[in-house]
Amino acid sequence: MERLKIAVLISGRGSNLQALIDACAQPDFPAAIALVLSNRPDAFGLARARQAGLPTRVIDHKAFADRIAFDAELDTAITGSGARLVCLAGFMRLLTASFVERWRDRMINIHPSLLPAFPGLHTHERAIAAGCRFSGCTVHFVRSEMDAGPIIVQAAVPTHPDDDAERLAARILQAEHRIYPMAVRLIAEGRVHVELVDGAERAVVSGAAAPRATLFNPDA
């Protein structure tokens, strides 16, 4: 089986990177990590990658005059690794529209909310403040608008009456670690394609069905 080569871009601790490392270590997983790339030389995720024996690269955004030059170097590194899918995993840099377009439908991101709700930062605080009974996480194809693009996989996580942002974030992170490898598997198996539905883009997953159960919160 020829595995889909992926590049994982990180800026921090790399917990979702670790979930992908663990998944790719399974002999039946249809993807392999060709490169772990960080814009921060002190990102702990780089240590995770080295521990797993994976190729790493640091491209410090501070060394470039502008985003265009930085993104060009990213593109060169990713292309040179042979990766055919880019996985953003806590990569805290906005990418230029030209870079996003070059990797259109070949770049995915994970976000800690049920998009399109709560794009951007402080998602858990905002969900709690809004009184949401459910929050969650989303894997989606990347578009030039922040936290936008066709949704591939989502996980819904109930909020608890005593939740603060830290407790909610910890439960959502557990779900993130499950759905990111799931999304990569679906793409590597050729089961995801993007189509226009009523003028809007939608990621369609072949051979998959939505769960039939309805969730209630509170479960009274």
Peptide bond into 211 cis (omega under 30): no
Q: Are residues 134 and 82 both part of a single domain?
A: no
Residue-number span of the structural domain to which 209 is assigned: 109-215
- How many Å apart are CA 214 and CA 53, to the nearest integer? 43
Which CATH number goes with the domain that contains 17? 3.40.50.170
Is-contact 93 11, C-beta < 8 A? Answer: yes
Q: Are residues 64 and 139 both part of a single domain?
A: no
Per the structure block, which two tokens stand in for 201?
A: 């883009």
In tens digits, the chain (220 residues) has pLDDT values of 799 999 999 999 999 999 999 999 999 999 999 999 999 999 999 999 999 999 999 999 999 999 999 999 999 999 999 999 999 999 999 999 999 999 999 999 999 999 999 999 999 999 999 999 999 999 999 999 999 999 999 999 999 999 999 999 999 999 999 999 999 999 999 999 999 989 899 999 999 999 999 999 998 8
- How many Å apart are CA 146 and CA 130, to the nearest integer? 21
Is 160 an active-site residue?
Answer: no
Q: Please, which residues have CB within 8 angstroms of residue 74's CB and are 6 or more apart in sequence?
A: 9, 37, 59, 95, 99
Query: Considering its fold, how many domains does the chain have in total?
Result: 2
Please indicate, yes or no, if residue 220 is contained in any of the structural domains.
Answer: no
Please indicate, yes or no, if residue 93 is contained in any of the structural domains.
Answer: yes
Give counts: helices (H), strands (E), the chain: 6, 9
Supply the pLDDT for residue 27.
96
Of the residues 59, 85, 103, the one at which a domain ends: 103
pTM of the model: 0.97
Catalytic residue among 61, 111, 140, 177: 111
What DSSP line would sit under 80-92, residue for residue?
A: HHT-SEEEESS--
Please indicate, yes or no, if residue 171 is contained in any of the structural domains.
Answer: yes
Supply the pLDDT for residue 111.
98
Of the residues 47, 78, 103, the one at which a domain ends: 103
Q: Are residues 67 and 124 both part of a single domain?
A: no
Sign of the Cα torsion 132, 138, 140, 142 reads positive
- How many Å apart are CA 159 and CA 168, to the nearest integer? 7
Of the residues 103, 127, 155, the one at which a domain ends: 103
* CA nearest to 8, candidates 50, 44, 37, 48: 37
Q: Are residues 87 and 20 both part of a single domain?
A: yes
Supply the pLDDT for residue 25.
98
